[in-house]
Amino acid sequence: MRHFTFPDTVCPKQTMSNVGVAILILGLSASIAVGVHAGERAPEDIYTESCAVCHGVAGEGAMPGIPDLTEPNGSLSKPEVDLVRSIVNGVERPGLETPMPPSGLDENTVKAVLVYLRAMAAQSR
């Protein structure tokens, strides 16, 4: 049986069989498929299901190192193009306590979620 070895930065010293790789690919495919059809879901549902576990139900940041999205000059004050890129591609950099994984959402869906987030943040102030 052939095994694949992943770099230390992804899976330290782990190998994966063909079956494991197939399961991983199926999982990623499912995530991408959700992104393709996400436009059919309400932005608040997408936030609740995909984002709130880390960012908090009201955007207050539910985990260490996660920014409070309700702060007036916080993360949501960045240019939309930067926010869309971060949400679509994820954020991981040295020193970042909790990296954000790629969302699997298309840009238009992310923009709709951002409209929802900004409205939610404005209400909490």
| Predicted model pTM | 0.65
Partners of 4 in the β-ladder: 16
Residue 116 buriedness (CB in 10 A; 0-12 / 13-18 / 19+): middle
CATH label of the domain that carries residue 81 = 1.10.760.10
Q: What is the DSSP letter of 17?
A: E
Confidence of residue 125 (pLDDT cuts 50, 70, 90): confident
Render pLDDT for 18-66 as a digit per residue (tens, 0 to 9).
443 334 344 444 444 444 444 489 999 999 999 999 999 999 999 988 9
Domain that holds residue 106: 3-124
Interior/surface letters 12-39, b for 16+ CB within 10 angstroms, e for the rest: eeeebeeeeeeeeeeeeeeeeebbeebe
How many domains are contained in the chain?
A: 1
CB atoms within 10 A of CB 85: 15
